[in-house]
Amino acid sequence: MAAKAARRPPAKKPVLVLNGPNLNMLGKRQPEIYGRETLPDVEKACRAEATRLGIAVEFAQSNHEGALVDRIQAAREKNAGIVINAGAYTHTSVALLDALNAAELPVVEVHLSNIYKRESFRHHSYISPAAVGVIAGLGSQGYLLALQALARLLAR
């Protein structure tokens, strides 16, 4: 008699933390606005928070709109949710909005700076309509809060 294979619960899909243009320059570019932490510093903090929350995370960054769209489209099957800091594409990209809507995943939009205290063109976000929430102005802590919010949503 063959032993039955132990049933494992399906592996949880990771949350995608997606960063747009110029975020690879964190710590170097305008530190008075964006802080001195680098993107690897943010990733390290997010991985620690994800471990604490019992969720997995994946990181991606691109300066190219099409690459971000491709990654969001792949997330539909590969990920449980998305934390996105789309950088300047926040204020210009209908393509990202369309991709986020097509992904049909919970999305939290993050901005390091308070976009409402900056130039008026930054006050409008094309991607907010696809998001369950927006976190702005809290620096890298915004990513951790976004992960906490998604962990709660995904646990429901």
User: Which pLDDT value is given to residue 6?
Assistant: 46
Please indicate whether residue 124 is annotated as part of the active site: no
With CA atoms as reference, report the closest residue to 141 among 110, 114, 117: 110
Residue 108 identity: V
| CATH of segment(s) 15-155 | 3.40.50.9100
pLDDT of 2 over the 80 cut: no
Burial 53-66 (b: 16+ CB within 10 A, else e): bebebbbbbbbebe
pLDDT of 10 over the 60 cut: no
User: Which pLDDT value is given to residue 146?
Assistant: 98
pLDDT in tens, 128-145: 999 999 999 999 999 999
User: Which pLDDT value is given to residue 11?
Assistant: 55
Which DSSP state fits 16? E
Q: Which of 34, 89, 126, 143 is catalytic?
A: 34
Q: Which of 89, 111, 126, 143 is catalytic?
A: 111
For 18, half-sphere exposure in the C-beta direction (CA atoms, 13 angstrom radius) is: 31
User: Which pLDDT value is given to residue 52?
Assistant: 97
Q: How many whole angstroms from its chain centre is CA 149?
A: 12
Q: Residue ranges per domain, the chain?
A: 15-155
What is the three-class DSSP state of 3?
Answer: coil
Please indicate whether residue 64 is annotated as part of the active site: no
pLDDT of 34 over the 90 cut: no
Residues 106 and 149: their CA atoms lie apart, in Å, by: 10
Phi, psi of 13 (to 5 degrees): -75, 140
User: Which pLDDT value is given to residue 120?
Assistant: 83
CA end-to-end distance (rounded Å), the chain:
40
Residues 18 and 110: their CA atoms lie apart, in Å, by: 10
pLDDT in tens, 51-84: 999 999 999 999 999 999 999 999 999 999 999 9
User: Which pLDDT value is given to residue 68?
Assistant: 98
* Over residues 32-47, mean pLDDT: 91
148 contacts: CB under 8 Å, gap ≥ 6: 49, 53
Radius of gyration of the chain (CA): 17
pLDDT of 122 over the 90 cut: no
